Structure 1
Amino acid sequence: MKGQAIAIALVIASGVAMSVMSLSTLKTLDGTRAAYYERYRFAQVFAGFKRGPRTLESRVQHIPGVARADLRIVQNVNLIVPGLPEPAVGKLISIPDHGTPKLNQLYLRRGRLPEPGRLEVLVGESFANEHSFQPGDSVEAILNGRLRELTMVGIVLSPEYIVEMDPGDMLPDFKRFGLFWVPETEMEAAFDMEGAANDLSLTLMRGASEDDVIRRLDNLLDDWGGVGSYGRDEHMSHRFITDELAGLEAMGLVTPIIFMAVAAFLLNMVMTRVIAMQREQIAALKAFGYYNLEVGWHYCKMVTLIVVAGVVAGTLFGVWMGHGMAALYAAFFKFPIFYFQFDLQTAVITAVLSVAAALVGTLNSLRAASQLPPAEAMRPAPPGKFSKTIIERMGLQRLLSPAWRMIIRQLHRQPLKAVFSVLGISAAVGILVLGNFMNDAMDFLIDFQFRQVQRQDLQVSLFEPTGIDVVNDFQHITGVRQVEAFRGLAVRLRNGARSHRTAIQGMGKTRQLYRVVNQNGVDQDLSRDGLVVSDALARKLNSRVGDSVVVEVLEGERPVTSARIVGTIDDLSGLNAFASRDFVNRITREGPRITGAWMTVDAEHLDDVYASLKETPYVVGVNSKEATIDSFTSTVADSQLQMQSFVIGFAIVIAAGVVYNTARITLSERDRELATMRVLGFTHAEVSVVLLGELALLTLAAIPVGLAFGYAMVWLTTTSLATDLFRIPLVISTGTFAQAAIIVLLAAFASGWMVRRRLYHLDLFAVLKGKE
């Protein structure tokens, strides 16, 4: 039985490995994040405003529930990085001239702190690593219209930016976005902010109401151009890592259940056959005085031994996989210290559940062994009941060879065994579909987001809302072919007790460079006064087309109005709202204004366009679509490739385990029949058809069931993993279905070939002897 035991142990090991890897990594990541937040005082509420005096800090401290507040200056600037033709974006954050910030404290990885009186800065590690910067290197930045040199004297980490990304980006771009911490006096002088600030973060007292503090804080900052306060759950870095934790938890809980169910089924098949083969031995043991419990315990130990072997192997492999995942996370999530920590509690719980699942799966067989009366056990098992198959009732048996008639009759006699075999193999097919569909989803997402929706080459962001005349400036840049302006407006949308902080994207009448489309390619009409919102945003606000929502503008004079939802789109990223630019300008009561533009450029003049934009003082950011695609693919590729290889390997284990065990059990049950056929003159090929034809039918029947099962799992995955940041499209290509079917067929072929070799070693003389 060693082959069957190894196959079952490998199935158990696969589920245990996924559980240990996912849940241990989850606990490591969550524990590291919590310790980092606490030790380095990550804020709980954040707020931006136009400009306010430093005395605001004491007033904020008096808001009930506020434990600590910290004012600072935050500005986005254009960077000129050596060797990088396009402009990069730098976020400058002020820090005290001496000492450390009250909140969001920094961890100095290398170098030293800046000295007052010099334009020395600290740089985030992701940006520094991407450009191989060392303490002492420098970059140029346009500060308030003046070109200045920033000397990087230290490389740091911040709990506020575990993922170093701009809140307006869909994914991190470590090459084109950098974080810099600048002494307070230098920031005040560079941006004319003496004695003033424009950003605030704070922590709360235990038991304080975050919503109440945010409401009071917004009221306080109204006079200073507040743009809306928000909690930690809306902070981009925190949301990003929280979504990753949710994915790990789902993987660690759902996947092992599938493997344990398959393992329990395999053990049930094996133990049922073993007990049937050992009826005489069981009877002899009971005749000698062994109790039912002792006989049952004997087989329990056999099951437990197989499970324990699988648990040990799976735990070791899960630890190895966990170290690989930790290395990926350490490169992406920036913690001072991050090492994979094996979670013994998870391993113990997984082991107990594996043993319990196996024993439950074999409970019926164990009960049969322990309760088998000695007299009954000494008699041969009664033959199965014969009845005509459907094919025979239809009179089609003459179309089949004798070997195929045997196969059909065998399946007809044991329908439950056939059904469970089909379900076991279909689980492998479904897991392969689930593991490979992500490639299809990512290909569709890139095509939809970056070729159907975003058709521009560059997106240019302005320092503040500006007159429409700047579009003419862009159009006169050599190499620029087409320009479309937009007006982004920070708002909070409310519907009763539900609300969400987002931005309305005000767009012009001509929308060729950025389209508002559904996944089927149908454009949404923005000509009517109202909002077109993401389906996800509509669900969050509990709103439908035709409903009105309250629009609280979070900039300028901060007017409050209402708007009707005139359409929804099934987009794939963010919780977005779109409207005509005229409608947005009427809401703000500021007249025609824009905050950015999309443009297409000639490839041969791209560097010239970059150079011109670098010298434009009111441009605060330039995003290249191709650079975003590169960042997207490089961010997803490593982790996706590694997880895909694990899933494919585990699915092959399931397929091979089910097919191999089914074939071995069939061979054990029918060895006398097959040997008799050989004595009667059947060839090896004809005998092989009887043995392996049944497996072939089961595998072929399992493939369509498995494809449907895979589709259901993909739907469940896309539904459960949908977040405010991303919605994974439910897209499965024909190639993915075909690949899953082919891999399972190959695994079945390999298993069948291994079992077929045993046909050459059948004892042909044994069948000539009667059973004693």
Structure 2
Amino acid sequence: MSVLNHKLLRDLWRMKGQATAIGAVIALGVMMLVMMSGLTVSLVETRDTYYQRYRLADVFAPVARAPDRLARQLAEIPGVSAVQTRVQGRALIDLPGQVLPVQAQAVSLPDRGRPALNDVYLTAGRMPAAGRPDEILLLQSFATAHGLRPGDRLRATMSGARRSFDIVGLAQSPEFLYTTAPGELIPDDARFGVIWMGRAGLAAAYDLGGAFNEALIGLARGTSDDAVIDAVDRLLAPYGGAGAYPLADQFSNRFVSEEISGLQAAALGVPPIFLAVAAFLLYIVISRMVQAEREQIGLMKAFGYSNFEVGGHYFKLIMAIAAGGALVGCLGGIASGRALIGVYTAYFKFPFLVFQLDPASFATGVSVSILSASAGGVLVLRKVFALTPATAMRAPAPPNFSRSGRIGKSLNRFLDQPSRMVLRRLTRQPGRMFGSVLGIALGMALSVAMITIYAGFDRTIDVTFSVVDRSDVSVSFTHPVSDKTLFELARLPGVELVEPVRNVAVVLRNGRFSHQGALTGLPPEPVLNRALNTDMAPIELPQSGIVLSDVLAAKLGVQPGDLLRVDVREGRQPLLDIPVSGTAQTLLGAPAYMGLEALGRALGEAGRISGAYLMIDEAYADRIYSALQNMPTVAGVSVKAQARDAFVALMNQGAGAIRYVMGAIAFIITFGIVYNAARIALAERARDLASLRVIGFTKAEAGFVLLGELAVVTLLALPLGALLGYYMSFGIARGFSTDLYQIPAVFDPASYGQAMLVVLGASLFSGGLVKRDLDRADLIEALKTRE
């Protein structure tokens, strides 16, 4: 082994604490990159394989009632490779011990053979037998939530008739990876189920003999969605077609894709922040190390080592730290990815999900960490090349501490000698001090941003379920009914307030931008479900015009005053042009609001409602639920308390669970940065502090000179860290937000206080470690000139 390599090993051992802290920052950045990239690849590969293996349709075409003979005409459309017609509809499941019925979707299976499209994955039992209309398959997640298994009996209400079924099997489907009750956004396995049964039996239940109400269409490779959808809509329009839509707009696939996009954004945006911080720390450590070893550099050059050999020595030191951190990060990314894969399996109901390594993430993580470290190292090597042997071997001129400036003069009379040393160090070497301040501030900014995100999740829950929605129960109807139905609800014992709502399926268009969703009609002064502005004040809905959520307005690229094309997908399906009258702040979903009367006039269906919000007396809850169950027009009942619990569970899974991992990483990085600052200060001042001990300073006084500097640097970093964290929290909040929920970056004083406590705690702990090393230092060894 060469002399320089021996020196390299000695240097690494001597600065093992600093090297470990910097390597940990690099490792965490690489770990997040490998973990998130691996999760993204795993989700994409599993989703695509699942869709392909079980033949998920490319186009979905709901229709009121179309004759079976149309299937042949659909198959003749250019680009169509497969067609599967089916019957589907809403159902209510009666469970023992539950007063409130559970909403479900009933889906038909071919009486013989497997479906050509949207096949099911059988997890237990068998398929329903031909000619047995009382045999069904049940969605496994729903069955697990209620302890149901093959062989059990199930009672359900379909089209107003109550029937009993035999559960012969449990199944999963690529169509129902993300399952929610109709009209809701929050998935809850216990509150929504899927029933599969034979086509003939289900057609009889919904009076669709010889007809279908949904067509599934598979496309040939390279076929345009738009062309096929236009042809399908023209063909089904006379039969009440509600508008075909592509797989990209299918509810379940949409949210799975949103989750994958969120992970991809996080994988691209978060690790570079950590790696940039690591590069900054490496630059500080190595540059100060070069300054401290200038005499050794002069000796090496005097003995014949070239600039490139000496520079290569320090560059290898940088690479050893960076490569070691990258290797640990790769291993940590594999372990953490495998640990989180179970979360996504439960979240998305995949029948299989194996963590797959992304070779590109390894190459990217290692190369980016080395390049980021090299960026700081190149600046240091310039100093090495600039030193001539004669200059390097001559000790640098000591800093001029004879003048302390106005600040020093005014404070000298109040400060003792150790305190003056701290002050002089800060005022005479502002560049170094600012580097330490900025490093600690960056660590605090990461902590501030992550703790703020925690507060943002809590605010989303509070605003959504306490400020926007102040009801206790929401009721949805099987079809738009007369607003006189409100009187029936209001007469129920225990119902204190009733408020109508009209939800209409629409496609909102603005040029090339579009959004498939619902238009919500609210009464003039809603009390139970409100549209609010950014100040949390109710928005007065105009006599005409749409109020869009901020997220939806940004997605469509519209502002108040712009004209929006509204393609209604139910009833007579009119095509409307309605102006945008304002925007509202919403944290759940991307709603669009209109006045209830204005919406009725635009549709030509005045006095019709599709649901209602109720405020009830909890003492009468069971009686109210029982009465609602017996109303033939009620399609479903949702209890807000249950929806809130489901939303909390949702945000603690999937991308929501990642925030805890990122928070832990931010705290570790904060400690690493503070500890590094303390170790750098000790390495730079070891000789000076030993000299103070020799001339009579006590251990406490020498420690004060060192730790006083760290304390001042930490206190100066706190306001800067708070400012950087404030702006960083907006970017991270945007990364966590999805179409399902938006996480606001709120100014929460408690979050900043907690982040400051993290930094102060890290400073106290790091100060204790370096103080221990200072007390144990060998004074003679510290005073020697390094040979």
Normalised by the length of structure 1, the TM-score is: 0.95
Distance 1:636 1:768 in 2: 57
Partner of 2:6: none
Structure 1 position 188, deviation (Å): 0.9
Q: Answer whether contact 2:446 2:670 (CA < 8 A) is retained.
A: no
Taking the TM superposition and a 5 Å limit, the aligned residue runs for 1:312-391 are: 312-370=327-385, 372-384=387-399, 388=403, 391=406
Partner of 1:67: 81
Partner of 1:94: 108
What is the SS of the residue equivalent to 1:362? helix
Q: Answer whether contact 2:714 2:763 (CA < 8 A) is retained.
A: yes
1:444 aligns with 2:486: no
Distance 2:229 2:415 in 1: 77
Q: Answer whether contact 2:26 2:329 (CA < 8 A) is retained.
A: yes
Q: Answer whether contact 2:259 2:655 (CA < 8 A) is retained.
A: no
Name the amino acid aligned to 1:105: D
- Of 475, 482, 492 in structure 2, the residue corresponding to residue 460 of structure 1 is 475
Q: Answer whether contact 2:139 2:171 (CA < 8 A) is retained.
A: yes
Moved more, 548-557 or 635-644: 635-644
- Of 33, 37, 40 in structure 2, the residue corresponding to residue 23 of structure 1 is 37
Name the amino acid aligned to 1:382: A
Partner of 2:136: 121
Partner of 1:758: 773
Structure 1 position 527, deviation (Å): 4.7
- Of 702, 710, 733 in structure 2, the residue corresponding to residue 695 of structure 1 is 710
What is the SS of the residue equivalent to 2:508? strand
Structure 1 position 507, deviation (Å): 2.4
- Of 179, 201, 224 in structure 2, the residue corresponding to residue 209 of structure 1 is 224
Name the amino acid aligned to 1:175: A
Distance 1:426 1:221 in 2: 62
Structure 1 position 640, deviation (Å): 7.2
Q: 1:81-120 deviations in whole A, cap 9, x for unaligned?
A: 2233321101011111111111111111111100122221
Change (3 A) 1:768 1:591: closer
Q: Answer whether contact 2:501 2:521 (CA < 8 A) is retained.
A: yes
1:604 aligns with 2:581: no
Moved more, 448-457 or 465-474: 465-474
- Of 282, 288, 292 in structure 2, the residue corresponding to residue 277 of structure 1 is 292
Distance 1:768 1:329 in 2: 58
Distance 1:120 1:494 in 2: 43
Moved more, 76-85 or 537-546: 537-546
Name the amino acid aligned to 1:84: Q
1:625 aligns with 2:625: no
Name the amino acid aligned to 2:429: Q
Name the amino acid aligned to 1:411: L
Q: Answer whether contact 2:60 2:244 (CA < 8 A) is retained.
A: yes
Name the amino acid aligned to 1:513: L
Moved more, 690-699 or 497-506: 497-506
Partner of 1:5: 19
- Of 498, 516, 519 in structure 2, the residue corresponding to residue 504 of structure 1 is 519
Distance 1:675 1:683 in 2: 11
Partner of 1:83: 97
1:136 aligns with 2:138: no
Q: 1:669-698 deviations in whole A, cap 9, x for unaligned?
A: 222221222233222222122101111111
Distance 2:644 2:302 in 1: 75
Q: Answer whether contact 2:124 2:169 (CA < 8 A) is retained.
A: yes
Structure 1 position 537, deviation (Å): 2.5
Distance 1:278 1:527 in 2: 74
Moved more, 614-623 or 475-484: 475-484
Change (3 A) 1:281 1:508: closer
1:655 aligns with 2:665: no
Runs of 5+ in structure 2 lacking a partner?
Answer: 1-14
Distance 2:160 2:355 in 1: 46
Change (3 A) 1:413 1:232: farther
Distance 1:76 1:334 in 2: 21
Change (3 A) 1:759 1:500: closer
1:245 aligns with 2:260: yes
Moved more, 67-76 or 584-593: 584-593
Structure 1 position 362, deviation (Å): 1.5
Q: 1:30-86 deviations in whole A, cap 9, x for unaligned?
A: 111111112222222222121111122222223333332221111011111223332
Moved more, 319-328 or 531-540: 531-540
Structure 1 position 721, deviation (Å): 4.6
Taking the TM superposition and a 5 Å limit, the aligned residue runs for 1:583-598 are: 583-598=598-613
1:49 aligns with 2:63: yes
Distance 1:170 1:767 in 2: 66
What is the SS of the residue equivalent to 1:670? helix
Structure 1 position 645, deviation (Å): 4.2
Change (3 A) 1:757 1:516: same
Partner of 1:423: 438
Partner of 1:521: 536
Change (3 A) 1:498 1:650: closer
Name the amino acid aligned to 2:28: S
Change (3 A) 1:641 1:543: closer
Distance 2:721 2:117 in 1: 52
Q: Answer whether contact 1:424 1:654 (CA < 8 A) is retained.
A: no
Q: 1:506-534 deviations in whole A, cap 9, x for unaligned?
A: 22345211112124221112251222222
Q: Answer whether contact 1:262 1:654 (CA < 8 A) is retained.
A: no
Q: Answer whether contact 1:142 1:617 (CA < 8 A) is retained.
A: no
Q: Answer whether contact 1:111 1:154 (CA < 8 A) is retained.
A: yes
What is the SS of the residue equivalent to 1:399? coil
Partner of 1:296: 311
Structure 1 position 501, deviation (Å): 2.5
Q: Answer whether contact 2:146 2:190 (CA < 8 A) is retained.
A: yes
Distance 1:758 1:66 in 2: 75
Name the amino acid aligned to 1:331: A
Q: Answer whether contact 2:296 2:786 (CA < 8 A) is retained.
A: no
Q: Answer whether contact 2:502 2:611 (CA < 8 A) is retained.
A: yes
Partner of 1:192: 207
1:32 aligns with 2:54: no
Distance 2:514 2:364 in 1: 40
What is the SS of the residue equivalent to 1:562? strand
Partner of 1:478: 493
Change (3 A) 1:385 1:213: farther
Q: 1:709-764 deviations in whole A, cap 9, x for unaligned?
A: 11212111233454433222222311111111101110111111100112223444
What is the SS of the residue equivalent to 1:598? strand
What is the SS of the residue equivalent to 2:39? helix
Q: Answer whether contact 1:507 1:579 (CA < 8 A) is retained.
A: yes
Distance 2:566 2:603 in 1: 11
Distance 2:245 2:227 in 1: 11
Name the amino acid aligned to 2:90: N
Distance 1:389 1:155 in 2: 80
Q: Answer whether contact 2:655 2:736 (CA < 8 A) is retained.
A: no
Change (3 A) 1:82 1:519: farther
Distance 1:641 1:549 in 2: 34
Normalised by the length of structure 2, the TM-score is: 0.93
Moved more, 401-410 or 133-142: 401-410
Change (3 A) 1:167 1:386: farther
Paired residues, number: 772
Question: Once superposed, what is the RMSD of the aligned Cα atoms?
Answer: 2.3
Q: 1:641-662 deviations in whole A, cap 9, x for unaligned?
A: 8534433432333233222222
Distance 1:501 1:643 in 2: 29
Structure 1 position 295, deviation (Å): 2.1
Q: Answer whether contact 1:432 1:647 (CA < 8 A) is retained.
A: no
Q: Answer whether contact 1:107 1:156 (CA < 8 A) is retained.
A: yes
What is the SS of the residue equivalent to 2:413? helix
Change (3 A) 1:641 1:506: closer
Structure 1 position 422, deviation (Å): 1.7
